[in-house]
């Protein structure tokens, strides 16, 4: 599911989309991503049901509000590719690529704790 581009301010636009992971599993996951600025048009050539590969960055931020400090995460897509229908092995509906996640290489992540 993809949404329309939202103009947040004069200098910032974003567009959100939700991907369903491999539907052949008993428990598919629904993952929310966003694209920003000039990347908003990346979604235009894809339709619901298309198999895609998403390259993304994991972004996190802290917000200090009236109820205290809260933390938010965003999966910010920077490249989207169609999955070829002519590959020899079946591809899942969603392939998310982020080295820390795909390779389970958490030792290379610089965390403040």
Specify the pTM: 0.64
Residue 113 lies in a domain: no
Residue 111 lies in a domain: no
The residue range of the domain holding 13 is 6-106
pLDDT exceeds cutoff 50 at 103: no
Q: pLDDT (tens digit, 9 = 90+) per residue, 49-98?
A: 888 889 999 999 999 999 999 999 999 999 998 886 545 444 445 555 55
Could you please report the per-residue DSSP string of the chain? -BPPPEEEETTEEEEEEEEE--TTSSS--EEEEEEEGGGGGGGTT--TT--EEEEEEEEEEEEEETTEEEEEEEEEEEEEEEPPTT-SSPPPSEEEE-HHHHT--GGG-----
Domain count, the chain: 1
Residue 28 lies in a domain: yes
């Amino acid at each position: 599911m993809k949404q329309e581009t939202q103009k947040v301010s004069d200098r910032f636009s974003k567009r959100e989309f939700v991907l369903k992971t491999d539907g052949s599993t008993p428990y598919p996951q629904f993952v929310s991503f966003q694209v920003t600025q000039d990347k908003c048009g990346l979604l235009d050539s894809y339709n619901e049901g298309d198999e895609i590969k998403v390259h993304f960055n994991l972004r996190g931020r802290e917000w200090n509000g009236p109820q205290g400090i809260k933390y938010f995460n965003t999966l910010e897509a920077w490249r989207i590719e169609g999955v070829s229908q002519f590959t020899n092995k079946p591809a899942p509906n969603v392939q998310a690529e982020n080295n820390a996640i795909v390779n389970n290489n958490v030792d290379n992540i610089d965390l403040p704790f």
